[in-house]
């Protein structure tokens, strides 16, 4: 591995993500927060439409989870840092690894004051900043490994990333049985559906306002009937690479959403009390770093983009 250009460039790209992300948030006054990797309140796997599973461990006799996301703690950090909070740290998932899923991956996440539109605008600026950093510092290396930098240049040349609602995406995909999964009261896009949207509409685009029951309870409602969510996925490369969402403002809204999703309130009592004691209008996002690396390198298997592979149920050293 140490003699392969791919992994030397992978180190360069990882360093670029860290340094570029730090400068991006520093310029905006958004503070980095140091958070634990253990939690008793999981977040991302809590939606009916989630394809991820929590990783449970026994920590000195206490039922504990390795963090899939520390978004809840970022919301807490947002109440301590008026311009928002961010981190770059590992996430842990319990589902099987495959070409597009890792059991342990890096998450670049942030929580910001304001609503979904503002957050999406910041995401657009962030991914453009990362892309510009690649072109400024590693363009020759990427051309050698990926065969081209046209996909990166194309992103940077776009005036704006197209946005369409989930309903609009479903209408565009028509009666393709492989594009949308239908469930009892909610729907999700398949990878095939995402790929069609990127091929037929734009290689970089947002899909917003998913069915609320397909996303975690903590996403705010997008309509009075509580059918849709104020959320968005930014699709590029393999598909969903950034997930974004607006949160409930107060405790009453959060309790109602927990009941709507049939999620027991006990595990989220502290979260509800935080919302009740300090109501705040925030939104946040998470970028999967290795999925971003797949896009940059035009690579087909995310499992090959780890310096030290980690697979659930497999003993690996180092």
Query: pLDDT (tens digit, 9 = 90+) per residue, 258-302?
Result: 999 998 888 899 999 999 999 999 999 999 999 999 999 999 999
pLDDT score, position 79: 97
- The Cα 290–Cα 269 span in angstroms is 33
**How crowded is the C-beta side of 169, counted as CA atoms within 13 Å?**
32
How do 231-236 and 205-208 pair as beta strands?
antiparallel
What rounded mean pLDDT belongs to the chain? 95
pLDDT value of residue 3: 82
Q: How far is the C-alpha of 202 from the C-alpha of 73, rounded, in Å?
A: 34
Eight-state DSSP code of residue 46: G
CA-to-CA separations, 273 to 240, 268, 279, in angstroms, rounded: 32, 9, 10
Residue 276 structure tokens:
């009740």
Long-range contacts of 190-197, Cβ-Cβ distance < 8 Å, separation of 24 or more = 191/100, 191/238, 191/239, 193/169, 194/235, 194/239, 194/240, 195/239, 197/164, 197/169, 197/172, 197/173, 197/235
What pLDDT shows up at residue 185? Answer: 87
d(Cα 69, Cα 65) in Å, to the nearest integer? 11
Ramachandran region of residue 29, left (φ > 0), alpha (ψ -120 to 50) or beta? Answer: left
Predicted local distance difference test score (pLDDT) of residue 49: 62
Q: Determine the CATH number of domain 5-304.
A: 3.30.930.10
Positions in the chain whose pLDDT score sits under 70: 1, 44-51
Lookup result for tokens 């670049």? 108
Identify the pLDDT of residue 47: 63
């Amino acid at each position: 591995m140490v003699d392969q250009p791919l992994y030397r460039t992978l180190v360069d790209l990882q360093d670029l993500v860290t340094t570029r992300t730090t400068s991006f948030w520093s310029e905006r006054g958004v503070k980095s927060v140091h958070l634990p990797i253990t939690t008793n309140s999981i977040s991302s796997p809590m939606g009916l439409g989630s394809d991820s599973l929590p990783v449970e461990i026994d920590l000195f006799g206490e039922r504990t989870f390795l963090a899939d996301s520390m978004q809840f703690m970022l919301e807490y950090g947002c109440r301590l840092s008026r311009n928002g909070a961010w981190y770059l740290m590992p996430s842990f998932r319990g589902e099987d690894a495959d070409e597009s899923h890792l059991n342990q991956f890096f998450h670049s996440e942030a929580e910001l004051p304001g609503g979904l539109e503002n957050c999406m605008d910041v995401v657009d600026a962030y991914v453009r900043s990362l892309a510009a950093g690649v072109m400024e510092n590693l363009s020759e290396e990427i051309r050698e490994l990926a065969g081209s930098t046209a996909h990166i240049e194309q992103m940077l040349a776009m005036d704006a990333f197209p946005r369409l609602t989930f309903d609009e995406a479903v209408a565009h995909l028509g009666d393709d049985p492989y594009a949308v999964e239908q469930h009892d009261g909610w729907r999700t896009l398949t990878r095939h559906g995402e790929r069609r949207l990127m091929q037929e509409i734009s290689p970089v685009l947002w899909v917003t306002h998913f069915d609320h029951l397909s996303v975690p309870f903590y996403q705010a409602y997008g309509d009075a009937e509580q059918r849709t969510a104020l959320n968005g996925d930014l699709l590029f490369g393999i598909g969903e690479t950034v997930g974004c969402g607006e949160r409930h403002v107060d405790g009453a809204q959060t309790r109602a959403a927990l009941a709507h999703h049939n999620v027991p309130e006990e595990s989220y009592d502290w979260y509800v009390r935080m919302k009740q004691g300090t109501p705040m209008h925030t939104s946040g996002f998470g970028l999967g770093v290795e999925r971003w690396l797949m896009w940059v390198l035009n690579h087909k298997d995310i499992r090959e983009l780890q310096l030290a592979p980690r697979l659930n149920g497999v003993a690996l050293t180092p």
